[in-house]
């Protein structure tokens, strides 16, 4: 019976991992919470339980679960990182006064993870973001943030360059931000590198460079999700409308659940494109398709009202 029991446990773990991978977080929570309660010594199950609620932004429960993990395995850097991450997210979701209750524990958790694993990239990213985003009164520090960006660069050049790009973007130095984001693309060239650079260009209101960056990423990585991103920028900025329409139609045609963005949003962007083209009939067609999938979406509803006002 023991091999059967082990196989059953492993099967449950694998199923929960697949549910989380497919973003079915509530289903994963329901399955793993029951399993974890019946197998209290299975720390992997408890970690997945924490992951499932964290993805749903249930920070209070995630904090409790990850704290329990750090207590049971105090030398596990990843547990301290996840505990600190849930605390950091809680800090960002409450008032500054309430945040004071969590700041110290979040810092301690991240610093403990960094101490336990000198090469823990995610922890140092979290420290960069935390020290930049926290107000000075709560312990924020640009100097400390840049210090951890330097640590990242010593561990991974590409992460260090992206972290410095983020640092300079956050501290309002767009020239240096662009320089480091482009350096990360040159040395790494991953989807993440291109995504950071394209989002930076969008924040800087430079859609032409954003479109060019996404196109380069699409040519290199051939990911369907990039068709949507390119079409979205074209629709938002009223640029290269034919190109945007083609990309969005391709996205819909090749869409799978792993692409992330529902088809409704692609139809919404197509409605925007046809509104820009002053084609009221097609614009209404696509916004109605979007609403048929998400009838309560206020953005879609407002867009339909805007389209109806076209002559």
CA distances to 92, 171, 202 from 77, rounded to whole Å, are 23, 29, 35
- Out of 48-52, 134-138, 184-188, 206-210, which region has the weakest mean confidence (pLDDT)? 134-138
Question: pLDDT tens, 259-303?
Answer: 989 999 999 999 999 999 999 999 999 999 999 999 999 999 999
DSSP state, 257?
G
- Out of 214-218, 247-251, 253-257, 286-290, which region has the weakest mean confidence (pLDDT)? 253-257
Please tell me the predicted confidence (pLDDT) of residue 38. Answer: 87
**What percentage of the chain has pLDDT greater than the value 90?**
82
Whether 138 has a pLDDT exceeding 80, the answer reads: no
Provide the 10 A C-beta neighbour count for residue 265. 21
Instruction: Determine, yes or no, domain membership for 168.
Output: no
Whether 165 has a pLDDT exceeding 90, the answer reads: yes
Q: Report the chain's mean pLDDT, rounded to a whole number.
A: 93
Please tell me the predicted confidence (pLDDT) of residue 3. Answer: 53
Whether 5 has a pLDDT exceeding 50, the answer reads: no
d(Cα 167, Cα 145) in Å, to the nearest integer?
8
Please tell me the predicted confidence (pLDDT) of residue 310. Answer: 86
d(Cα 59, Cα 80) in Å, to the nearest integer?
15
Whether 93 has a pLDDT exceeding 70, the answer reads: yes
Instruction: Determine, yes or no, domain membership for 284.
Output: no
> DSSP 3-state assignment of 63?
helix
Whether 96 has a pLDDT exceeding 90, the answer reads: no
Instruction: Determine, yes or no, domain membership for 178.
Output: no
pLDDT level of residue 13 (50, 70, 90 thresholds): confident
CA quadruple 145, 209, 221, 240: dihedral positive or negative? positive
Q: Into how many domains does the chain fold?
A: 1
Between 285 and 257, the more confident residue is 285
Instruction: Determine, yes or no, domain membership for 91.
Output: yes
Instruction: Determine, yes or no, domain membership for 39.
Output: yes
Whether 7 has a pLDDT exceeding 60, the answer reads: no
Please tell me the predicted confidence (pLDDT) of residue 75. Answer: 97
Q: What is the mean pLDDT of residues 95-116?
A: 91
Provide the 10 A C-beta neighbour count for residue 50. 27
Provide the 10 A C-beta neighbour count for residue 56. 14
Instruction: Determine, yes or no, domain membership for 90.
Output: yes
Whether 103 has a pLDDT exceeding 70, the answer reads: yes
Structure token digits, residue 32 = 């793993």
CATH number at residue 91: 1.25.40.10
d(Cα 197, Cα 195) in Å, to the nearest integer?
5
Instruction: Determine, yes or no, domain membership for 190.
Output: no
Question: pLDDT tens, 142-156?
Answer: 999 999 999 999 999
Instruction: Determine, yes or no, domain membership for 239.
Output: no
Whether 181 has a pLDDT exceeding 90, the answer reads: yes
pLDDT level of residue 92 (50, 70, 90 thresholds): confident
Please tell me the predicted confidence (pLDDT) of residue 8. Answer: 53
Strands (E), the chain: none
d(Cα 207, Cα 278) in Å, to the nearest integer?
21
Q: What is the mean pLDDT of residues 35-63?
A: 93
Question: pLDDT tens, 33-45?
Answer: 988 888 888 999 9
CA distances to 108, 138, 151, 269, 272 from 241, rounded to whole Å, are 50, 46, 43, 11, 10
DSSP state, 138?
G
Q: How many helices (H) and strands (E) does the chain have?
A: 17, 0
Please tell me the predicted confidence (pLDDT) of residue 100. Answer: 85
Give the residue carrying structure tokens 């950071």: 196
What is the span of the domain harbouring residue 33? 24-134
Give the residue carrying structure tokens 């006064």: 97
């Amino acid at each position: 019976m023991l091999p059967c029991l082990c196989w059953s446990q492993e099967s449950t773990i694998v199923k929960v991992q697949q549910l989380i991978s497919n973003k079915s977080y509530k289903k994963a929570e329901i399955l793993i919470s029951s399993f974890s309660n019946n197998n209290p010594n299975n720390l992997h199950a408890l970690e997945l339980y924490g992951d499932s609620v964290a993805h749903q932004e249930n920070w209070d429960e995630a904090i409790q679960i990850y704290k329990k993990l750090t207590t049971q395995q105090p030398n596990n850097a990843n547990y301290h990182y996840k505990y600190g991450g849930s605390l950091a997210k809680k800090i960002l979701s409450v008032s500054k006064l309430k945040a004071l209750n969590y700041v110290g524990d979040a810092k301690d958790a991240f610093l403990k993870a960094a101490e336990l694993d000198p090469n823990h990239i995610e922890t140092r990213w979290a420290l960069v973001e935390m020290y930049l985003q926290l107000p000075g009164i709560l312990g924020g520090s640009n100097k400390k943030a840049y210090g951890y960006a330097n640590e990242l660069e010593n561990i991974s050049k590409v992460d260090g360059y992206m972290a410095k790009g983020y640092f300079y973007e956050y501290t309002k130095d767009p020239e240096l931000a662009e320089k480091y984001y482009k350096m990360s693309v040159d040395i790494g060239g991953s989807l993440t590198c291109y995504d950071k650079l394209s989002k930076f260009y969008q924040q800087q209101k430079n859609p032409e460079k954003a479109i060019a960056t996404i196109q380069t990423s699409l040519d290199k990585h051939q990911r369907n999700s990039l068709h949507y991103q390119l079409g979205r920028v074209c629709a938002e900025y009223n640029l290269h409308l034919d190109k945007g329409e083609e990309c969005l139609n391709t996205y819909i045609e090749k869409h799978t659940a792993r692409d992330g963005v529902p088809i409704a949003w692609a139809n919404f962007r197509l409605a925007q494109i046809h509104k820009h083209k002053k084609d009221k009939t097609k614009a209404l067609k696509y916004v109605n398709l979007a609403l048929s999938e998400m009838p309560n979406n206020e953005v879609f509803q407002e867009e339909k009202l805007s389209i109806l006002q076209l002559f």
